[in-house]
């Protein structure tokens, strides 16, 4: 933020600044916090085509209806986008993610991934 913007600093700016500074944020339902976690697939040595699984916050661009990643570089309250949700992806040897499902919570996406592949342990990126 420019120094001139401090006069209009509002409650929504607190989250945006905290995310950019990578400060710890207490999660509450509905708070748009970017998440990206990955888990190595323990079955990849046994012939699975996927080397890892990824969970990432995503949201829909309301103008063109494209789904895009929601990252720390994005404005969490941008009116051009819908609410965030959590996409579960499997990543193959080529590094390309394949969408599996969406869940309204990160815990729901983790549970689905662990039901698909027991033993997954997600780590922040």
Provide the residue ranges of all domains of the chain, joining segments of one domain with +. Answer: 3-124
Q: What is the pTM of this model?
A: 0.77
pLDDT of residue 69: 95
pLDDT tens, 25-71?
666 667 788 889 999 998 876 677 899 999 999 999 999 999 999 99
pLDDT band at 124 (very low <50, low <70, confident <90, very high): confident
Confidence of residue 4 (pLDDT cuts 50, 70, 90): confident
Contact 99, 89 (CB under 8 A): yes
Residue environment code for 65-88, b if the CB has 16+ CB neighbours within 10 A, otherwise e: eeeeebeeebebeeeebeebbbbb
**Would you state the pLDDT for residue 29?**
67
**Residue 75: φ, ψ to 5°:** -80, 120
**Mean pLDDT score across all residues of the chain:** 86
Residue keyed to tokens 């969406």: 102
CA dihedral of 87, 90, 93, 97, whole degrees rounded to 10: -30
d(CA 36, CA 123): 9
């Amino acid at each position: 933020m420019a120094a001139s913007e401090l006069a209009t600093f509002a409650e929504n700016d607190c989250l945006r600044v905290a995310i950019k500074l990578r400060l710890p944020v207490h999660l509450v339902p509905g708070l748009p916090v970017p998440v990206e976690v990955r888990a190595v697939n323990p079955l990849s040595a046994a012939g699975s085509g996927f080397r890892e699984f990824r969970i990432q916050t995503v949201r829909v661009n309301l103008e063109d209806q494209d789904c895009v990643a929601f990252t720390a570089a994005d404005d969490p309250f941008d009116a051009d986008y819908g609410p965030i949700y959590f996409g579960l992806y499997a990543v193959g040897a080529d590094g390309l993610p394949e969408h599996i499902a969406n869940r309204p919570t990160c815990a729901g996406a983790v549970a689905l991934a662990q039901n698909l592949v027991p033993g997954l342990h997600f780590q922040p990126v």
